[in-house]
Structure 1
């Protein structure tokens, strides 16, 4: 694994960057699954997104949760997150409320953790007259009507985003997602999992598509969240075609990351909550002690870890792999996403079958499917077959993988049931977004306020 580098020690060589990834390697018996989900918070009185401060704001919601044993994380005087037993609750730029779950062994545990979190936040929110909505894009409010949370890195990102894309501020303020994090045992295992999950990420986007509304109207997409990522910042987003090249591994990803422009450097005592603006500057220059924001200073491994969090491809490598392709949704789909990826990636037979399914796709197919998933969901064709059929085959592989995993609940039930809703979506070819559109044209009669009652947690 190479030399262990102290957090405060300046990086001496490129190899330490790749050793950071390798330090995440674990034998299969130690593999865990992390589930993350965001949700929009709204005032029950007028459906508006709450400000940070005030008696019924996001800060009050965070403070209220501390009665359940959560510890506060502060940036200056602002409470910005909570921590408990390996999990965290944090606020995204527009006040989206996120649970980053603890690394757990089974989907049963993840669903239980999610349920406990939702019960806790609903208990506090009911006192504050707040509600929660699980969709992929804020359905009513403009950027200008969306409050901004007081976090130093968000100030830097908000100033930089309009320089590199037209939809970056929408990404920050008006999107909501479900994610899953999974381990790898070796570099070769990471490569196979990265390639397979990256190719199939648009399939997940289609299955979870759930954001057809913007500012009270249809927006022309089934996943407006996914579309936002196509014009946020080309330097740090996308399908990463090089992942499918011969020789891909830790080194190639590190080289890619070095060339992604920076956002910030964190230093205690700095203004703006400890964040120094390095937006657009080069981590390569930082390695050489030539970063304009900190001339003469070289980065630490902590700086490298921070920089890696500012990359936003459809699958992201840190000390584990992050699946980033799904819209926010109800509790059932929060459980379904990690079930999908655990079924595909945590059983070797399933992993190889999933790779066999997609290994013939061309790079152009990956990009085409990404756009198609956002626009038309499971409709259309890729590589000569309907997208719906690719999705159904993917789910069958995942189901068999979960069967072989044999992770049983207390009632001796395996994890395959968490895929049931996804099978219904794939079999029908109708995404969650299309179901919402049917209601919009039908029983809602164009009134999106109904979304906040029928689809809220």
Structure 2
């Protein structure tokens, strides 16, 4: 979750918002990779979710990380809620249920991305172990009920918690019981953004299937391979989904802005205070018709905060966010960005990926999105098995990474980071299915094993 801003730059008009997105354009040589990954903290021994308060809670962990790293603390009131790297630009933040997230720095290569992830996990272990805490990488908390989950002391989450009850049945589960791996990537122009958004949206369900890793809920199989993805289907239809308008002729920065400004807002931040403005749109705010702030017009900070509360399968800011993958173990933290970098950062490969999906209809894209949470690689799209599409997708990504020809000190290129995805393709079985096999076999139906076999 991004750090909320208080940028007071006046927001003049709708064109300013499109220009804000356009300001993210970069030359391909300046393209970077930003990886975000969330994980569930738990108490060793009891396997209960890690609390926020207390000598062995998440706040104590953040204090320990502050001492270890020298990063700047982020507060909500008097409560520490994250850390910011003042040098490289990364950050540690807390999701509503205490999910511990690293928002990685913008890096040039996947080698750097993987080193960053490894270093972060080692640092977290160093501080967490004396506190009796461990961390689990999965898409949904496998054993904890919604009522078990702690609530982080963030005002924006208080507002969201109340609003989620009005707009869907699973929004609170999304907030408190899910975790993801995301990758943020750059675009060179509006046309490049459009191509990447379209390919990313069409293939996001395939990535969801490949990285499916949330088969349990409330201590038993849920009937889904990615219950995290299923949760997003009934969270808040106004701000989620597959964005079919992105495939319309003429789609670009302005069309995306027009959608976002009509999405109901959550809050406006003034100083340290969060004002609940749920139910009103940013378009109303731009017209000075926000009931809670009559006559007041928004700032760029208000826009940046609002954009951070939009949750489609692919999100556009000053970069593009791929949001379809479940949280997972450390190798997945490297594999998810490897997949998307390989597909999107080589023009020829991006063109081939578009050729693969360009004839899919909006109905076919939505159908596979609806099917993969339960069926995974067994679903189909436009008459093709998802497994076959995934095989082609990973093959293209491999070629894209090979063409980048970026080597580490041992002479290995970035294709090595696709190994987890290639293993899934070769076996035809997702991590979720392998975990279900263990649950029904060697674990004897006891999910305590998750906290030992799949902890970081």
TM-score normalised to structure 1 length: 0.97
Alpha-carbon distance between aligned partners in 1 of 2:351 and 2:426, rounded to the nearest angstrom: 24
Alpha-carbon distance between aligned partners in 2 of 1:358 and 1:426, rounded to the nearest angstrom: 19
Alpha-carbon distance between aligned partners in 1 of 2:380 and 2:143, rounded to the nearest angstrom: 32
Give 3-state SS (helix, strand or coil) of 2:452's partner.
helix
Give 3-state SS (helix, strand or coil) of 1:259's partner.
coil
- Partner deviation per Cα, 1:318-350 (whole Å, 9 max, x = no partner): 000000000000110100011100000000011
Q: Is the 8 A contact 1:264 1:278 kept in 2?
A: yes
Q: 1:202 aligns to what?
A: 205
TM-score normalised to structure 2 length: 0.97
Q: Is the 8 A contact 2:9 2:301 kept in 1?
A: no
**1:193 aligned to which of 191, 196, 217:** 196
**1:229 aligned to which of 202, 216, 232:** 232
Q: Is the 8 A contact 1:171 1:225 kept in 2?
A: yes
Alpha-carbon distance between aligned partners in 2 of 1:74 and 1:420, rounded to the nearest angstrom: 39
User: What is the CA-CA distance between 1:382 and the residue it aligns to?
Assistant: 1.4
Output aligned runs, 1:160-179, within 5 Å. Answer: 160-179=163-182
Alpha-carbon distance between aligned partners in 1 of 2:46 and 2:426, rounded to the nearest angstrom: 37
Q: Is the 8 A contact 1:167 1:229 kept in 2?
A: yes
Alpha-carbon distance between aligned partners in 1 of 2:214 and 2:116, rounded to the nearest angstrom: 25
Worse-superposed segment, 401-410 or 161-170: 401-410
Q: 1:41 aligns to what?
A: 41
User: What is the CA-CA distance between 1:426 and the residue it aligns to?
Assistant: 1.5
Q: 1:63 aligns to what?
A: 63
Worse-superposed segment, 192-201 or 365-374: 365-374
Q: 1:9 aligns to what?
A: 9
User: What is the CA-CA distance between 1:282 and the residue it aligns to?
Assistant: 1.3
Worse-superposed segment, 133-142 or 380-389: 380-389
Give 3-state SS (helix, strand or coil) of 1:377's partner.
helix
User: What is the CA-CA distance between 1:7 and the residue it aligns to?
Assistant: 4.0
Alpha-carbon distance between aligned partners in 1 of 2:23 and 2:71, rounded to the nearest angstrom: 29
Output aligned runs, 1:46-445, within 5 Å. Answer: 46-66=46-66, 67-84=68-85, 85-268=88-271, 273-445=272-444
Q: 1:21 aligns to what?
A: 21
Q: Is the 8 A contact 2:368 2:379 kept in 1?
A: no
User: What is the CA-CA distance between 1:70 and the residue it aligns to?
Assistant: 2.0
Q: How many residues align?
A: 448
Worse-superposed segment, 65-74 or 177-186: 65-74
Which consecutive unaligned segments of at least 5 residues does structure 1 have? 1-5
- Partner deviation per Cα, 1:196-216 (whole Å, 9 max, x = no partner): 011000010000000010110
Which consecutive unaligned segments of at least 5 residues does structure 2 have? 1-5
User: What is the CA-CA distance between 1:401 and the residue it aligns to?
Assistant: 0.4
